[in-house]
């Protein structure tokens, strides 16, 4: 799939479809993890976050990375290897990535999790949902019985995080002493400000990061998106979210410490039983053998060199695609190769669901939130669902703009007379009808190495590459050449 802003112009290079034509979600509860960016090392935070949510029954995680240091990327690669996470990499033209990029992550992850997970917990990496009632064994059982509800809000405690995360692994004792769940316990009272939202994906048409909205605006948003949202007060005694919010001055400032909602701090220790299980998962011995996570940490400590390129070419590929009936289409190309496509890829539709309703919302500026930043538009992902295709982009200022969907076969040849005029809605999402024989898996990059710094904003990709051409620390440019 690709897009263009005029039906006659040359489209961007196409991106592959991501299969989402599932009859039922394959995951009950997953987590959409807020965007990862910044210079702070996050290897321990990533591991603690994943192991924490696994203990309450979550089995799948959607990560979005803007930039990350090489040491932290190793733990991400390890969880990719085990198949527990799905990773979206967004290359940005900005030297500094800040909280405004949450909007891209929220919409992209919503599209990625549709038809793939029944419930999705939307949290940043410093937010942990805790189940306090011993009778509730998992977040799945906590959410059971809410099949007519689209969103559930959980109350939150903000906990002061006063130090930076460790740069590298040193010892087992260091892991215990630096785990956020064990280290920090100066907490605010329970509040509904910035509460955690868990969404039932089937009942949600779009998501928006809301800051300081009044009740009337929120009510209008919920009506337009056909959302049944509950903020469940009776759940406070059985679960809560712990937000380990930094006390340092950063892009959001440290003014939250003087906010009236958070002025009465107290010591709230961790839940003892859960803490012991989490420590065991992070530094465990099983039958006299250290568990794989700790072995990996030890590997980080002893490794002097690490070649991503060697690992990425090792040929160790996970094959998870289905094997349905295959139909062969004769390609119009001069080559004798014929494009195969599966039985699920034989759907043609003439329009997009709810398109007229979306146009009405655009006219009323519903869900409009234009970022102050401008960016060269790049395609991120293309998800195929039973009745439409959604393309996500890195655009933050394209709300309501006309755009053309462009369709390609496995030879990256555009399918004749197949384009469709669509619109950006919400901010960075384009919905397109289905077409028969669209390429599903082709030229899919399984690894992208990050430059140590992100380039200053530039107007074209050639200039972006030129910034790194003079340094030997970035061998990925030779591959681009």
Contact between 118 and 146 under an 8 Å Cβ cutoff? The reply is no
Contact between 428 and 375 under an 8 Å Cβ cutoff? The reply is no
Peptide bond into 126 cis (omega under 30): no
Q: Is residue 326 part of a domain?
A: no
Contact between 386 and 23 under an 8 Å Cβ cutoff? The reply is no
pLDDT at 312 over 70: no
CA distances from 97 to 17, 101, 338, 373 (A): 27, 7, 44, 11
pLDDT at 458 over 70: no
Among the ranges given (224-233, 409-418, 464-473), the one the predictor scored with the smallest mean pLDDT: 464-473
By residue range, what is the domain housing residue 228?
A: 24-308
Q: Is residue 330 part of a domain?
A: no
Q: Is residue 477 part of a domain?
A: no
In angstroms, how far is the first alpha carbon of the chain from the final one?
Answer: 24
- The 10 Å Cβ neighbour count of residue 58 is 24
How much is the pLDDT for 337? 65
How much is the pLDDT for 32? 94
How much is the pLDDT for 409? 81
How much is the pLDDT for 100? 67
> In which band, very low, low, confident or very high, does the pLDDT at 464 lie, cut at 50, 70 and 90?
very low
> How do residues 132-164 score in pLDDT, each as one tens digit?
788 888 888 888 877 777 778 788 888 888 898
> How do residues 208-224 score in pLDDT, each as one tens digit?
443 333 344 344 434 43
Q: Is residue 362 part of a domain?
A: no
Mean pLDDT score of the chain, rounded to an integer?
Answer: 73
Distance CA 237, CA 233 (A): 8
> In which band, very low, low, confident or very high, does the pLDDT at 61 lie, cut at 50, 70 and 90?
very high
> In which band, very low, low, confident or very high, does the pLDDT at 481 lie, cut at 50, 70 and 90?
low
Q: Is residue 370 part of a domain?
A: no
> In which band, very low, low, confident or very high, does the pLDDT at 364 lie, cut at 50, 70 and 90?
confident
* Average pLDDT, integer, range 19-46: 89
Q: What HEC string does the chain produce?
A: CEEECCCCCCCCCCCCEEECCCCCCCEEEEEEECCECCCCCCHHHHHHHHHHHHHCCCCEEEEEECCCCHHHHHHHHHHHHCCCEEEEECCCCCCCCCHHHHHHHHHHHHHHHCCCEEEEEEECCCEEEEECCCCCCCHHHHHCCCCCCCEEEEEEEEEEECCCCCCCCCCHHHHHHHCHHHHCCEECCCEEEEEEEEEEHHHCCCCCCCCCCCHHHHHHHHHHCCCCEEECHHHCCCEEEEEEEECCCCCCCCHHHHCHHHCCCEECCCCHHHHHHHHHHHCCEECCEECHHHHHHHHHHHCCCCCHHHHHCCCCCCCCCCCCCEEEECCCCCCCCCEEEEHHHCCCCCCCCCHHHHHHHHHCCCCCCCCCCCCCCCEEEEEECCCCEEEEECCCCCCCCEEEEECECCCCCECCCCCEEEEECCCCEEEECCCCCCCCCCCCCCCCCCCCCCCCCCCCHHHHHHCCCCCCCCCHHHHHC
> How do residues 230-254 score in pLDDT, each as one tens digit?
544 444 445 677 888 777 765 455 5
Most confident of 63-77, 196-210, 433-447: 63-77
| Count of domains for the chain | 1
Residue 292's CATH number: 3.90.550
pLDDT at 300 over 50: yes
Distance CA 158, CA 156 (A): 6
Q: What pTM did the predictor assign?
A: 0.70
Q: Is residue 410 part of a domain?
A: no
Distance CA 454, CA 91 (A): 8
Q: Is residue 319 part of a domain?
A: no
Which has more pLDDT, 351 or 461? 351
- Return all residues near 123 (Cβ < 8 A) that are at least 6 apart: 31, 32, 33, 34, 129, 196, 241
Q: Is residue 300 part of a domain?
A: yes
Among the ranges given (34-48, 284-298, 351-365), the one the predictor scored with the smallest mean pLDDT: 284-298
Q: Is residue 465 packed enough to be buried (19+ CB in 10 Å), middle (13-18) or exposed (0-12)?
A: middle
Among the ranges given (62-76, 139-153, 383-397), the one the predictor scored with the smallest mean pLDDT: 139-153
> In which band, very low, low, confident or very high, does the pLDDT at 98 lie, cut at 50, 70 and 90?
low
């Amino acid at each position: 799939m690709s897009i263009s802003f005029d039906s006659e112009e040359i489209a961007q290079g196409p991106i592959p479809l991501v299969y989402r034509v599932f009859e039922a979600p394959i995951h009950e509860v997953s987590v959409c993890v807020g965007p990862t960016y910044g210079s702070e090392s996050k290897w321990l935070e990533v591991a603690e976050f994943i192991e924490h949510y696994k203990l309450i029954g979550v089995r799948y995680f959607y990560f979005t990375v803007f930039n990350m240091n090489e040491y932290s990327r190793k733990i991400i690669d390890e969880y990719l290897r085990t198949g527990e996470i799905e990773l979206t990499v967004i290359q940005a033209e900005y030297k500094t990535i800040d909280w405004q990029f949450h909007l891209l992550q929220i919409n992209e992850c919503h599209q990625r999790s549709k038809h793939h997970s029944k419930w999705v917990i939307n949290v940043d990496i410093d937010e942990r949902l805790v189940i306090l009632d011993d009778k509730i064994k998992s977040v799945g059982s906590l959410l059971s019985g809410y099949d007519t509800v689209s969103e559930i809000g959980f109350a939150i405690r903000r906990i002061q995080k006063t130090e930076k995360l460790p740069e590298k692994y040193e010892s087992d004792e260091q892991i215990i002493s630096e785990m956020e769940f064990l280290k920090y316990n100066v907490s605010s009272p329970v509040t509904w400000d910035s509460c955690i939202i868990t969404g039932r994906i089937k009942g949600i048409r779009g998501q928006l990061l809301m800051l300081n909205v009044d009740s009337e605006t929120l009510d209008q948003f919920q009506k337009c998106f056909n959302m049944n949202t509950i903020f469940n007060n009776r759940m406070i005694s059985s679960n809560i979210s712990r937000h380990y919010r930094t006390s340092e001055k950063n892009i959001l400032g440290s003014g939250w410490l003087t906010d009236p909602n958070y002025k009465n701090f107290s010591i709230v220790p961790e839940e003892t039983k859960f803490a012991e299980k989490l420590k065991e998962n992070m530094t465990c011995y099983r039958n006299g053998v250290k568990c794989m996570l700790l072995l990996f940490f030890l590997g980080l400590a002893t490794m002097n060199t690490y070649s991503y390129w060697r690992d990425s070419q090792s040929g160790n590929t996970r094959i998870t695609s289905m094997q349905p009936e295959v139909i062969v289409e004769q390609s119009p190309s001069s080559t004798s190769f014929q494009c195969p496509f599966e039985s699920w890829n034989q759907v043609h539709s003439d329009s997009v669901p709810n398109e007229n309703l979306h146009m009405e919302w655009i006219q009323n500026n519903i869900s409009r939130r234009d970022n102050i930043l401008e960016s060269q538009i790049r395609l991120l992902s293309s998800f195929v669902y039973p009745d439409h295709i959604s393309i996500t982009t890195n655009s933050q200022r394209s709300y309501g703009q006309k755009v053309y969907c462009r369709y390609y076969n496995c030879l990256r040849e555009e399918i004749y007379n197949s384009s469709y005029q669509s619109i950006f809605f919400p901010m960075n999402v384009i919905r397109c009808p289905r077409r028969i024989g669209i390429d599903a898996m082709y030229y899919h990059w399984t690894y992208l190495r990050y430059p140590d710094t992100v380039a200053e904003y530039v107007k074209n990709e050639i200039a972006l590459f030129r910034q790194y051409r003079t340094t030997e620390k970035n061998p990925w440019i030779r591959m681009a050449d």
